[in-house]
């Protein structure tokens, strides 16, 4: 067994405000470039106002996800962080979603369900250029 690690940095532009982006193709390409046959790809977004998860990447699901998080943690809430910046809600939403997801792969292809994609959700109050780190451990 010959294990190894490969790290791929992805760049994505977001609109912020709960925008959901499908990263599945980019993650799959990173896995293929790693030349590992099987293992785990961890997809991680640095920063504290975005998160990564799996979901069906469909406009209704993206809208519902954003709506639920906005109802739970509305932008107009009284957040201590807003004394510094205007995105206290974005920090809390991102903390609940989490910054990463681990996805297994086999035969150089991520193992996701039929309606499951790897998605980035950017909760910040403005458009951003995000770096997403895909770290692949495999053999």
Positive or negative: CA dihedral 58, 64, 67, 69: negative
Domain count, the chain: 1
Q: Coil, helix or strand for 22? A: strand
Q: Coil, helix or strand for 24? A: helix
Residue 83 DSSP code? G
Q: What is the pLDDT of residue 1?
A: 67
How far, in Å, CA of 25 to CA of 1, rounded? 28
| CATH number of the domain that residue 100 is part of | 2.60.120.460
Segment holding 25, helix H or strand E: helix 24-34
Only one residue has tokens 């925008």, namely: 19
pLDDT tens for 89-121 read 999 999 999 999 999 999 999 999 999 999 999
What domain range is 13 assigned to?
A: 4-138
Segment holding 21, helix H or strand E: strand 19-22
The pTM of this model reads 0.95
For each of the chain's 139 residues, which pLDDT tens digit applies? 689 999 999 999 999 999 999 999 999 999 999 999 999 999 999 999 999 999 999 999 999 999 999 999 999 999 999 999 999 999 999 999 999 999 999 999 999 999 999 999 999 999 999 999 999 999 9
In the numeric block, which tokens belong to residue 56? 């069906």
């Amino acid at each position: 067994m010959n294990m190894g690690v490969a790290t791929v940095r992805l760049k994505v532009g977001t609109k912020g405000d709960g925008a959901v982006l499908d990263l599945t193709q980019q993650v799959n390409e990173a896995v293929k470039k790693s030349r590992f046959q099987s293992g785990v790809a961890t997809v991680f977004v640095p920063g504290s106002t975005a998160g990564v998860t799996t979901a069906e990447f469909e406009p209704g699901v993206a809208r519902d996800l954003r709506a639920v998080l906005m109802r739970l943690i509305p932008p107009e809430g009284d957040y201590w962080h807003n004394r510094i910046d205007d995105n206290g809600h974005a920090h809390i939403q991102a903390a609940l979603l989490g910054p990463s997801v681990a996805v297994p792969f086999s035969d150089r292809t991520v193992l996701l369900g039929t309606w499951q994609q790897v998605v980035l959700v950017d909760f910040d109050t403005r458009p951003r250029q995000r770096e997403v780190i895909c770290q692949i451990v495999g053999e």
